[in-house]
Amino acid sequence: MRHLYLTLAFNICLFSFAYAQLPSDLDSLLVGYEQAPNDSVKFLYADELFWQYVYKDLEKSKPFIEASLSLADRLQDSTKQVTGLNNYAIYYRISGQYRKGDSVLRKAIQISERLKDTIRLSRSYGNLSNILTGKGDFEGSIEADLQAMRFYEALGDSAGIGICLNNVGRTHFALKQYQESLEYYQQALVISQQIQDTLGLAQNLGNIGTAEKQLGNLDKALEAYLSAKELFEQLGYKRNVSFTLNNIALLYREKKAYKKAENYLLQCLALLQERNSPLDMANIYDNLAKTALLQGKYTQGLAYANKAWNRVQEVNARPVLRKVYQSLSKAHAGKKDFRTAYEFQQKFIALNDSLINEGNTQKIQEMEARYEAEAREKEILVLNKDKEVQAQTIEAQKAVLRARNAVILGALFALGLAIFASLFYRQKQLLAQKEKDLAAQRNRELKSQQQIIRMDALIQGEESERRRIAQDLHDGIGSMLASAKLQVSTLTEKVPNTQEIRETQSLLGSTYEEVRRIAHNMMPKILLELGLIPAVKHLGENLERTGYIDVHINALSDWPTLPDHEELILYRIIQEVLNNIQKHAHATEAWVQFSHFEGESSILIEDNGVGFDPNSDKEGIGLESMHNRVAYLNGELEIDSQPNKGTAVTIRIPDKTNKKLGELYETHHTS
């Protein structure tokens, strides 16, 4: 029920009584969700069902996140939007999709800052810390945790402070600063005991066990692990049980009790296979590989390491990838394949250097020093308040200060008279410069408007030419091919039906269908009839028919209705990106995600292909054309790609800009 209490704090008082009456068992929650009397109550049930599933069956939690976001949009409730976005971030973190988790949390923080909502800001920054740790950004993780801790201290929230202390400890652990991490874990443990937080207590015990193990205190570590495992089993948190089993296995491996270590790892793997979590399973396979390698079982170790490699490729988690590189290197070396072993060792060294370096450690220490300085300033303020009891002494000092200030003010008044004329003259100069700047700004705005009109004419010209070519293909070449196919069919009645004639008929039929497909792609009717998202889905289905790529289309929230010319421009950009993925990326999957939050429409297009260097491939894949089209909509285009790491293209279009461009478009075409 801990998460039930936390969620209660995030909802407005109007619904506090209704939420307090929510049942705790799963079946009753599902019935309540289906029979909810209104959207507000349904949102509360969806949020609680997410927490019921997220650590037990991750994929079953996802529909309730989507439902909560949809309900928040329908209710136009920004605070509920933040709750839904945070839940999505937790889902992305557990599934290893750190880039998507980072994106939704930035939106949650933006909304919470606008609302000046300290509670939701603290939660969002805490979740952001976990996401950044998963990405290997330890500096950003510490900064986010310290920011969250400031908010929790302002709220007097001991549980939140304990969570932050635990997160800071985990980041120190990732940097191999084990004594510092143990101290943070122990502080967090004290808070969990004080507030009787069973889940927090179990998590802190598990972390303490890991730190004690690294410090060489194996008996203390085993004691902490066993206590944590018992608490997680009581709570029914299978994922956490699996983590603890893994930690116990590593401890036995440290003691060279390899058989016990392997048994615990296989128990852990059995639990994880129920959830099919690529990131967690990659970790366990890697640990099984290392256990086999320590016993000289190189063939078995290589098999486990390859399984770890296959699973980590699904999520591209750099800290786990670093471990797998090391295991693959050792396994190949054990099998006398030294060239391959050297290649993987070089990959391990390069990735390790990028994750842990002296610059990160120094910056983290500087951030902690700033936090401690702020704490000292607060202590000084408290001491100053205590000194106010010395009223008579303070009043005497004030009298002396007033007399001295009177002398100073007199001198300043005289000086002010002397420089008044100079300031007045300077003010006139500033006004003249301001008028000049305003004139220059008006000139820039005029040039910008002219550029939009020219771009509009260019786009309209392109679309007009597309329509003409599509019509010619359909009515001209298409009709000719249809006639040719008919004539060949007539010939079969006069001459023998040979293999060559059948092949000619088939070729003419295929050519006719290809011409029709090209014509429809150049001017898709479905876009004008049904809108952008159905048109993109149709485009994805056409690409999937090639048999080389799967295209997934997803809308996180209600997509706004845009003017026809803007939807056509966005369709052309998406079409260009998907064509590039099909031709150049060698990808097996692509994702197109539509979302709309806080007056901004966003489109995220990702693939799992080979990636590219955006700076060197501008001409080859039409990036300049895509940038120009998005700029015409006053939007932003971001391309995140590196060789062998896939590509993510993000398009952002603000609503108010859409309206402004729509008015300009109408004016331009009716004048």
Confirm if 241 and 233 have CB atoms less than 8 A apart: yes
Task: Determine the pLDDT at residue 314.
Answer: 78
Q: How far is CA 649 from the centre of its chain?
A: 13
Whole-angstrom distance, CA of residue 621 vs CA of residue 15: 53
CA nearest 625: which of 459, 452, 450, 448? 459
CA atoms within 13 A on the CB side of 570: 31
Confirm if 127 and 144 have CB atoms less than 8 A apart: no
Whole-angstrom distance, CA of residue 175 vs CA of residue 468: 62
pTM over 0.75, yes/no: no
Bridge partners for 637 per DSSP: 651
Task: Determine the pLDDT at residue 16.
Answer: 29
CA nearest 579: which of 615, 533, 548? 548
For residue 578, give both structure tokens: 């998907």
* E strand intervals along 293-358: none
Tokens 């998590």 sit at which residue?
203
Mean pLDDT of successive 10-residue stretches along the chain, which has 671 residues = 34 31 77 91 92 86 91 92 93 90 92 91 90 86 87 85 86 87 91 89 91 90 91 87 89 90 90 79 90 92 90 78 88 89 86 63 53 52 53 61 66 66 70 75 64 60 62 61 66 67 72 66 72 89 82 83 84 89 88 87 92 68 78 88 89 67 37 30
Confirm if 69 and 108 have CB atoms less than 8 A apart: no
Q: Which amino acid is at 487?
A: Q
Whole-angstrom distance, CA of residue 123 vs CA of residue 10: 10
Whole-angstrom distance, CA of residue 189 vs CA of residue 182: 10
Confirm if 123 and 86 have CB atoms less than 8 A apart: yes
Q: Which amino acid is at 402?
A: R
Q: Which residues of 34-59 are buried (b: 16+ CB within 10 A; e: fewer)?
A: eebeeebbbbbbbbbbbbbbbbbebe
Confirm if 62 and 91 have CB atoms less than 8 A apart: yes
Confirm if 298 and 335 have CB atoms less than 8 A apart: yes
CA nearest 242: which of 267, 211, 207, 259? 267
Whole-angstrom distance, CA of residue 129 vs CA of residue 167: 7
- Hey, what long-range contacts does 297-306 have (CB within 8 A, 24 or more apart)? 298/331, 298/334, 298/335, 299/335, 301/327, 301/330, 301/331, 301/334, 302/328, 302/331, 302/332, 302/334, 302/335, 305/331
Rounded (5°) CA angle 411-415-421: 160
Rounded (5°) CA angle 413-416-422: 165
Total count of residues recorded for the chain: 671
Confirm if 45 and 82 have CB atoms less than 8 A apart: no
Radius of gyration over alpha carbons of the chain, in Å? 32
SS3 content of the chain, % helix, strand, coil (to 5): 80, 5, 15
Task: Determine the pLDDT at residue 663.
Answer: 39
Task: Determine the pLDDT at residue 664.
Answer: 38
For residue 130, give both structure tokens: 């976990």
Q: Which residues of 80-107 are buried (b: 16+ CB within 10 A; e: fewer)?
A: bbbbbbbbbbbbbbbbbbbbbbbbbbeb
Confirm if 78 and 111 have CB atoms less than 8 A apart: yes
CA atoms within 13 A on the CB side of 503: 3
Bridge partners for 640 per DSSP: 648
Confirm if 309 and 283 have CB atoms less than 8 A apart: no
Tokens 């992305």 sit at which residue?
92
